[in-house]
Every structure is written in structure tokens, then in C-alpha cells.
Amino acid sequence: MGAGAGNCKLEVLVAVLHKMGVAHGAELYPLIECADEIVRPLQQRPVVVDGRALMMGYAGVYSSFLLYTERAAEKVGVDPRDVLMAIGKRRLVSGQEDLIVDVAL
């Protein structure tokens, strides 16, 4: 049930590890079936990995920072991806959303 690039879906991870020849001890087909038949029907909103989700995972930032980051980047006129990377380097934690504008500046 990975929420984005920072939380990889287990079936995706196992498939990639299998393709790479890395021993993992998991069965791919049952994981795919579980994800398709049990997990996804329980989700109220499907998980989508888009460019912003990828950058959040790559930068190691909380998903709750995305809206603040987009607003700050637009306000200051910078690329939100750069702001996400800067937030990740500073290791901001939940509750520090007020610092995102400062980071964007």
C-alpha cells in the first residue's frame, strides 16, 4: 500500500528485485493477487505515483509537505522539486511546514 515513491508497493519491489536477480524469498504472483483483489478495493483513493510523488520519495520528505511546497514555490517563483530536495536535505519533520517558505526563499 505504498503511498508514493517513498513507500514502495511490496509487489512492485518484489518484481524489481526478481528482475535484478536479488534473492528475496517472496512469491510475486500471490502478492499481485493480494494487491489487486484485497488491498486496492479497500482503498478510497487509488495510489498514483506521479512526478511530485516521486520527488517526495526521492527527497525523503513527508507527503503532507507537498501542498505547502507547491504554494511556496509558486509564491517565490522557484521549481517545487528544488524546494522538496532542500527540505529533504534539511530533514524537516511534520510540524515544520511553516519553514517551507523560508526554504523556498
pTM of the model: 0.63
Predicted local confidence at residue 101, as pLDDT: 92
Contact 68, 100 (CB under 8 A): yes
Domain ranges of the chain: 1-48, 51-104
pLDDT of residue 87: 94
pLDDT of residue 105: 93
pLDDT at 5: 53
Topology (CATH) of 51-104: Helicase, Ruva Protein; domain 3 (1.10.8)
Position 50 scores a pLDDT of 76
Rounded CA separation 3/48 (Å): 8
Residue ranges of the chain whose pLDDT lies below 70: 1-6
